[in-house]
Structure 1
Amino acid sequence: MREPKDTDFLIDLEGVGKFRFARRTFNDRIKIRGEIAVMSRDFGDDLDTVAEVTVLAVYKTLVVACPKGWEDLGGVDLVDRPEVEEQAWQLFMKLQDAESRFRQDRDEARQKDGQGDVAVDPVLVSPKVSPTAK
């Protein structure tokens, strides 16, 4: 697991506990893609496997702290703990939701008074002023 930072955030998974995750960096994105490539290379276009590999890669890369028994998500025995598979998906979806909220909050913060896009309203230039008018 990685070192904690001030930008980390918590996700509470009902029935499991609180997880601490790092905000995704450019390096994290590359690490996640590398993990996905390595772990799924022999599975071709099996989308289910690629999806499961994505959950593991994101978790492995971004988790900072987790409840006992979740330190090695890929090593969980699903025969003994079958509920973990569904819980991992729930956690992944909560993580995706949190990251979406961060982007939305960032975009809203950037558009304060006097900022943002200008509505497109083409202004016609009088032929007297336009150099291309005949």
Structure 2
Amino acid sequence: MFRKSSPDDFDLVIEGVGNFSFARRTMRDEMKIQVEYARFIDGVTPTDWLRAVAGWLSVLNVLTVRAPEGWDTEAMDPLDDDTYSKMLKVYTALVTQERSFRGIVSEGSKAQG
């Protein structure tokens, strides 16, 4: 279900959800994420909701190496609001960690430079 582990993987503990391991994103991963996204939107012009959820799921499905027991995005209840808050929480933690690897500078720091 999840991708194979590699030495570049990193771990995150997401409060209220559990422990995850993610792969560091590569160019190939980014292409896989875009293909996964295209599958989710199935050729339609996505609504804001579809754009957001398809984006979260695409990234999580491609980059997840290990997840807590019971974490299965395909089996999550789409009518449970808690489903979306958990997905967003995990996605946000992942993206925040990725930004820290790439040394993305805040707007305030750019202005000073």
Q: Does 1:74 align with 2:74?
A: yes
Who is 2:87 aligned against? 88
Structure 1 runs of 4+ aligned residues shifted over 6 Å read: none
**CA–CA distance in structure 1, aligned partners of residues 67 and 39 of structure 2:** 25
2 CA distance for matches of 1:104 and 1:78? 35
Question: Are the aligned partners of 1:43 and 1:49 in contact in 2 as well (CA < 8 Å)?
Answer: no
Identity of aligned residues (%): 31
Question: Which amino acid in the other structure matches residue 97 of structure 1?
Answer: T
Matches of 1:47 and 1:85 in 2, distance apart?
A: 14
Question: Quick one: distance in 1 between partners of 2:37 and 2:90?
Answer: 18
Question: How far apart are 1:45 and its partner, in Å?
Answer: 3.7
- Structure 1 unaligned residues grouped into runs of 5+: 108-134
Find the counterpart in structure 2 of residue 14 from structure 1.
15
Unpaired runs of 5+ residues, structure 2, are: 106-113
The alignment covers a number of residue pairs equal to 105
CA contact (8 A) 1:7 1:23 kept: yes
- The equivalent residue for 2:32 is 31
Q: TM-score, normalised by structure 1?
A: 0.71
Q: Which residue of 2 aligns with 1:103?
A: 102
Q: TM-score, normalised by structure 2?
A: 0.83
Deviation at 1:51, TM superposition (A): 1.1
What is aligned with 1:121? none
RMSD of aligned Cα (Å): 2.0
- Check conservation: 1:56, 1:73, Cα contact below 8 A: yes
Q: What residue is the counterpart of 1:52 in the other structure?
A: 53
Name the CA shift for 1:75/1:99 in 2 (closer, same or farther; >3 Å).
Answer: same
Residue identity opposite 2:3 in structure 1: R
Structure with greater helix percent: 2
SS of aligned partner of 2:69: coil
Greater relative contact order (CA < 8 Å, ≥ 6 in sequence):
2
